[in-house]
Structure formats: C-alpha cells, structure tokens
Amino acid sequence: MATRQTINTDLMRDIRNSIVRSSNLLKEGVPISLDEKTVNSTNCYAYAMGIMYNILTKPRGFYNPGFTENESFKLIDTPKILINRVKHDLDNIGIKYREVISEKKGELKENEYLVKIFMADPNEEIPRGDFHFVRQDRKTGKWFHKLGWDRQPEITQSAPECDDDYISGSEREDITICCNNNFSYTYYEAGYLAIEEL
C-alpha cells in the first residue's frame, strides 16, 4: 500500500505544539478573543481542535479536512470522506481521538472534549459546498465555534437574519444560514469526534 505524502515533519510538529487546551480557549464559559494574526489565520476546523499555528496557513491551503496530506474539501465529498480526512489529519498531527455516534456523545472520558462536524451541499452561495466545526465546553455544556477566517470565536447563536427559536450555546442538529437575498442553506450533521486534550 502506498504511503500518503504529508506536509513536512517540522510543520506537523509546529502545528501540534501550537495546540491549546480548553482552559486557554474559554474564560468563565466565554470564548477568549484571539490576536489579529491568529484570527485571520485560523478557521473553524483548526479552532475546534485548539490549533493556533498561524504562519501562512491560508496561502498554504491549511485547515481544510485532509490538509496534512495535501487534500482539500471537494464537491463530491460525503460525510464519511470528510470524517476520514479529519481522522488522517489528527493521526498525522498526533492528536488522539475516537469517533462517537450521536447516542453516545455524552459518554466522554475525563480528558476529552466533543467536536461536531457539519457539511453543506453545494448551492448558489457556496458552489463547492462547505464544512463547519463546533466544539463543546465540558464545564458548561455550551457549544462554541469560529466562523470562517476573519471572525472572533463565539458561543453558537442564531444569525440576526434568521427567525428561529434557537437557544444560544445549545447543540444544533443543523445550522441554517440566511442570506441577504432571502436565500438560505443548511449545514447538516456529518458526525462527532471525541478529542483527547494534550
């Protein structure tokens, strides 16, 4: 079986060494603001894993599921392919994890936190489709995330343009994005991973 080509070992080590624990992401259950360089170099995927490595990450195409093996999110990806790419990244970086089914998501070990992975199908706003990651705070049970590359992390909440009864910080089964042109699309659940704190 052919070995997959990965990004270089030094980069992998630097990424692993940048990982922060939950206690460094939250203060009293509220996400801590990131410095400007990290905000602009970290997306939802890296943030959910606690990865704060921020040197040329966007131009290098980092933090797409599969990035450690020079893969990127593709139009044809299924939830299984997406999760497998994430698993390969975590294996390559040296992050311990286990896949969890929805019914067992509350059964975490003491040193684990929960990440939920979403996918959106291609549409007029995102022609290639998209992914999103959210992370749960073990202490409060609230879910938090970082939207895209340019926004600060926050507790999950409804977008102002969406008229729904979502309770801030609670788990979402799906995420609906309401656009200014009355168009909306939905991110649906792809799976859960229990990640071991380093």
Q: pLDDT value at position 167?
A: 77
Report, as ranges of residue numbers, the positions in the chain whose pLDDT lies below 50: 1-2
Q: pLDDT value at position 1?
A: 45
Asked if 194 contacts 100 with a C-beta cutoff of 8 angstroms, the reply is yes
Q: pLDDT value at position 51?
A: 97
Q: pLDDT value at position 148?
A: 87
Q: pLDDT value at position 174?
A: 87
pLDDT tens digits, one per residue of 74-128: 888 899 999 999 999 999 999 999 999 888 888 899 999 999 999 999 988 889 8
Q: pLDDT value at position 82?
A: 95
Q: pLDDT value at position 73?
A: 85
Q: pLDDT value at position 66?
A: 94
- pTM for the full model? 0.92
What does the DSSP assignment read for the chain?
A: -PPPP-S-HHHHHHHHHT---GGGTEETTEEPPPPHHHHTT--HHHHHHT----SSHHHHTTTSTTGGGT----TT--HHHHHHHHHHHHHHHT--EEEE-GGGTT---TTEEEEEEEEE---SS-TT-EEEEEEE-TTT--EEE--TTTS--EE----TT----PPTTS--SEEEEE-TTS-EEEEEEEEEEEEE--
Q: pLDDT value at position 61?
A: 85
Q: pLDDT value at position 153?
A: 96
